[in-house]
Structure 1
Amino acid sequence: MAERHDRQLLVEGNDDCHVLYALCEKFKLPETFDIIDCKGIGNIFKGLPTRIKSSGAINTIGIIIDADTDILARWETVCNILLSSGKYDNVPNICPEGGLILHPIIPEDITFGVWIMPDNKTNGMLENFTTYLIPNDDRLLQIADETLDRIESEGLNRYELIHREKARIHSWLAWQEIPGTPMGLAITKKYLSTEPPVCQAFIQWLNSLFNQECIK
């Protein structure tokens, strides 16, 4: 996607992009920022120091990254980049539960935000966040869990256990009205709910970071 705005949201991959497009459409967020697929968390971290120094060309940068198996390590990496830039103080020791929004020491520099999937406090990834959006009265998720437990106990799983959540949500998606619907489209089709508190908090973070002037 071409960069058109002075506000940028950096994400790890294509799935993140489509989930975000669906959520932005659902909540009718103003199109004030670009969603940029950096094709991996390594590229996000590698390019951040340069982007943060791009005062004038860029007004606001947000990043969405997966905690994976060590949220503290992820946060430490972010903190080191922010502190090394010399543009921010009061960087917290842990990521705020509602996501970070950090204003620069010099107002003309870049406002920075981070959301660590799934909820800024637990290990996991985009797929965990998406699983949180499964309606409470759903009965298929339990069957998916039982199925995964069984194939893992019998050593039949071909996925690494670190990717269990991917297998979990995509098993559930395979059993919907249109089997195999991607996560973003599942939001659009309302297979997934946007009512859970974690989704509401995420949208509030996005709006606060990129659309503060639109919040009444």
Structure 2
Amino acid sequence: MNTHKLLVEGIGDQAFFRILLKNMGYAHVDICPPKSVGAKGDGIDNLLTILPELLDSISSNAETKLGIVLDADYPREQENNSHGYQARREKVLKELVDRQYVLDSMTGSTQWQGEILQHTDGLSPVGIWIMPDHFSDGMIEDFWLSCIADGVRKSLLDSHVDKSITELLEDEQFNAQEILFSPIHQAKVRFETWLNWQKKPSTNDKKHECYRRLTAACAFRDGWFDPNHPNIRALTHWLTRVFQ
């Protein structure tokens, strides 16, 4: 049984972290969308639902190492808002504190590089990273967008994708029909539009992650992201702290 687990929101995140962790030398880490560990489906709601059960199950194995990656999302105008970095962090911390986890003494100076919680009975620590950067509202697509390497691909986003999206948002005819995406999902639209304007890498391998469609995993593997971007370096530093 693999005792090194990274809980993520879905299969797109899983594919990205699979390549990232392999490059770091942590290919043994089991990257788990919620459905793979017993939830009814994937996504943030299922992750938060399955988290208490998963934490209870690992408490019986002192060798378990667990990292949790979830989106902050954006606050919405509604009562008892559960969206946004602060709300998401407080919700996850409560589940951990209720199970005798406490913040690492080093966390205060490195909070924006993810967090590590230690267990009062000496169980393995648990790491938390809230996308995009563990202090801002947003989602993993914001993280990916920030890491696009400088050059033609970055210019494509800045000069063409963003221009097209802005023009669409300002088009009264489209807005009147209420068929446009929600503003809180603009990062998803920006990233997917940018990604699908790229030429797909040539491969005849049907098992290749880029054979059917382009993903963030493809972008990272083929060097479209800057591996030395501060956000990637911060994330890899946190992953090292969790799984070393």
Q: TM-score, normalised by structure 2?
A: 0.77
User: Which residue of structure 2 aligns with residue 29 of structure 1?
Assistant: 25
Provide the rounded CA distance (Å) in 2 between the counterparts of 1:174 and 1:40. 22
Match of 2:204 in 1: none
1:90–1:184 distance in 2 versus 1, CA, 3 Å: closer
Does the 8 Å contact 1:75/1:94 carry over to 2?
Answer: no
Structure 1 match to 2:237: 204
Task: Find out whether 1:154 has 2:171 as its counterpart.
Answer: yes
Q: Is the 8 A contact 2:141 2:187 kept in 1?
A: yes
Q: Does 1:127 align with 2:141?
A: yes
Does residue 1:96 correspond to 2:111, yes or no?
yes
Q: Partner residue of 1:140?
A: 156
1:44 corresponds, among 47, 51, 64, to 47
Partner residue, 1:78? 92
Say how many residue pairs are matched: 205
Q: Residue 103 of structure 2 contacts residue 115 of structure 2 at CA under 8 Å; is this kept in 1?
A: no
Which TM-score applies when normalising by structure 1?
0.86
Aligned residues: percent identity? Answer: 29
In 2, Cα distance between the equivalents of 1:17 and 1:94? Answer: 29
Q: Residue 103 of structure 2 contacts residue 118 of structure 2 at CA under 8 Å; is this kept in 1?
A: no
Give the aligned partner of residue 169 of structure 1.
Answer: 191
Q: State the distance in 1 between where 2:98 and 2:110 align.
A: 18
The answer to whether the 8 Å contact 1:174/1:181 transfers is: yes
The answer to whether 1:13 aligns with 2:10 is yes
| Distance across 1 between alignment mates of 2:108 and 2:98 | 15
- Output the CA distance in 2 between the equivalents of 1:193 and 1:158: 31
The answer to whether 1:56 aligns with 2:60 is: yes
Q: Which amino acid aligns with 1:141?
A: L
Distance, in Å, in 1 between the alignment partners of 2:171 and 2:89 is 36
Cα offset, 1:32, TM superposition: 3.5
Rate the CA distance shift 1:95–1:116 in 2: closer, same or farther, 3 A.
Answer: farther
The worse-fitting range, judged by mean Cα deviation, of 35-44 and 116-125 is 35-44
Find the aligned partners of 1:198 and 1:104 in 2 and give their Cα distance.
27
Name the aligned partner's letter for residue 190 of structure 1.
Answer: G
User: CA 1:94–1:117 in structure 2 vs 1: closer, same or farther (change >3 Å)?
Assistant: farther
Displacement, 1:139? 1.0
Q: CA deviation at 1:9?
A: 0.8
Where does the alignment leave 5 or more consecutive residues of structure 1 unmatched? 212-216
Distance 2:66 2:55 in 1: 8
Cα displacement (A) at 1:133 = 1.4
Residue in 2 that maps onto 1:192: 225
Contact conserved, 1:72 with 1:94, CA < 8 A, in 2?
A: no
Displacement, 1:34? 0.9
- Which structure has the higher relative contact order (CA within 8 Å, separation 6+)? 1
* 8 Å contact from structure 1 (residues 99, 114) kept in 2: yes
Give the drift of 1:95: 8.6
Amino acid at match of 2:139: M
Superposed CA RMSD in Å reads: 2.2
* Post-superposition offset of 1:170: 1.3
**Offset at 1:48?**
2.0
